């Protein structure tokens, strides 16, 4: 699996050895250990292999991003090269990068940050979307983090709508206004279904976890009993 994954992303075993300063026999041993679910002798490479060769990573772009990240991780652990030399950061970018890492590490230890916040950070870093850029620009400007540049975007309608929403957030609303919330809930559920349909492995993974949970909680069930359990779970989720 690992060799196929590297080949699909135009990475040779020799290149991997050069990038991570290990010998070919050592790499072959690590591959054999990882693919047989055995612990690698190196804790650093165990983390690299777990992250880089995760079976849920099917997108080539995501693999490339992860490959670049683990290179950075390896060099910070085992060489004297600075992050800015390795990744081409300027000083401000490096400060932002270090601050982000420190914040994440601190919050993970103190458990002050939810998984949803980690997900949105990851989403922002991985997606190049103009509406997302506008939202980020608006939030930073609204909180006084920067001055808003009106000429940055060709169309500032989204910014205007965001500002109007923030101005009205403390105003009393009519009951009918909340009908829009039902529309949003329906839309979000449709988006989840689309994402799962685009990534069948995620769907299978969820199905397996749900099946394991039901079996542990309720034991072996007939079809009729299973139907009742699923109805009960559906009511609790809704």
pLDDT at 87: 43
Task: Supply the pLDDT for residue 27.
Answer: 92
Q: What angle do CA 106, 91, 117 make, to 5 degrees?
A: 35
Q: What angle is formed at CA 81 by the lines to CA 78 and CA 83, rounded to 5 degrees?
A: 100
HSE-CB of 74 using CA atoms within 13 angstroms: 21
How far apart CA 100 and CA 116 sit, in angstroms, is 16
For residue 114, give the H/E element and its range.
none
Q: Is the pTM of this model over 0.95?
A: no
> What's the confidence (pLDDT) of residue 81?
46
DSSP state of 41: S
What pLDDT score was predicted for residue 86? Answer: 41
Grouping H, G, I as helix, E, B as strand and the rest as coil, residue 218 is helix
* Residue 171 backbone class (left: φ over 0; alpha: ψ -120 to 50; beta: rest): beta
User: Each residue's pLDDT tens digit in the chain (238 positions)?
Assistant: 788 888 888 889 998 988 888 899 999 999 999 999 889 988 888 888 888 888 777 778 888 888 888 887 776 665 544 444 444 445 566 667 667 777 777 776 666 666 777 777 777 777 777 888 888 888 889 888 888 888 888 888 888 998 988 888 878 878 888 888 888 888 888 887 887 776 666 556 666 667 777 777 777 767 677 777 777 776 666 5
d(CA 7, CA 84): 29
Encoding tokens for residue 43? 């804790």
The Cα-based distances of 21 to 26, 40, 71, 95, 107 in angstroms read 10, 16, 11, 28, 32
pLDDT at residue 28, as a whole number: 92
């Amino acid at each position: 699996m690992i060799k196929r994954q590297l080949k699909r992303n135009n990475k040779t075993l020799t290149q991997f050895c050069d990038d991570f300063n290990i010998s070919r026999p050592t790499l072959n041993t690590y591959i054999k250990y990882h693919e047989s679910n055995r612990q690698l002798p190196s804790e650093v490479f165990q983390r690299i292999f777990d992250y880089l060769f995760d079976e849920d990573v099917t997108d080539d772009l995501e693999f490339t991003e992860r490959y670049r990240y683990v290179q950075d991780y390896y060099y910070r652990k085992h060489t004297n090269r600075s992050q800015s030399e390795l990744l081409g950061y300027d000083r401000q970018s490096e400060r932002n990068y270090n601050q982000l890492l420190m914040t994440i590490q601190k919050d993970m230890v103190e458990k002050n940050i939810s998984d949803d916040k980690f997900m949105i950070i990851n989403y922002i870093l991985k997606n190049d979307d103009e509406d997302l850029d506008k939202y980020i620009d608006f939030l930073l400007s609204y909180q006084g983090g920067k001055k808003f540049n009106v000429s940055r975007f060709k169309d500032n309608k989204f910014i205007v709508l965001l500002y109007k929403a923030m101005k009205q957030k403390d105003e009393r609303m009519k009951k009918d206004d909340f009908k829009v919330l039902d529309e949003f809930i329906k839309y979000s559920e449709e988006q989840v279904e689309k994402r799962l349909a685009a990534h069948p492995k995620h769907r299978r993974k969820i199905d397996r976890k749900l099946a394991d949970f039901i079996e542990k909680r309720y034991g072996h069930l007939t079809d009729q009993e299973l139907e009742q359990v699923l109805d009960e779970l559906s009511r609790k989720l809704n």
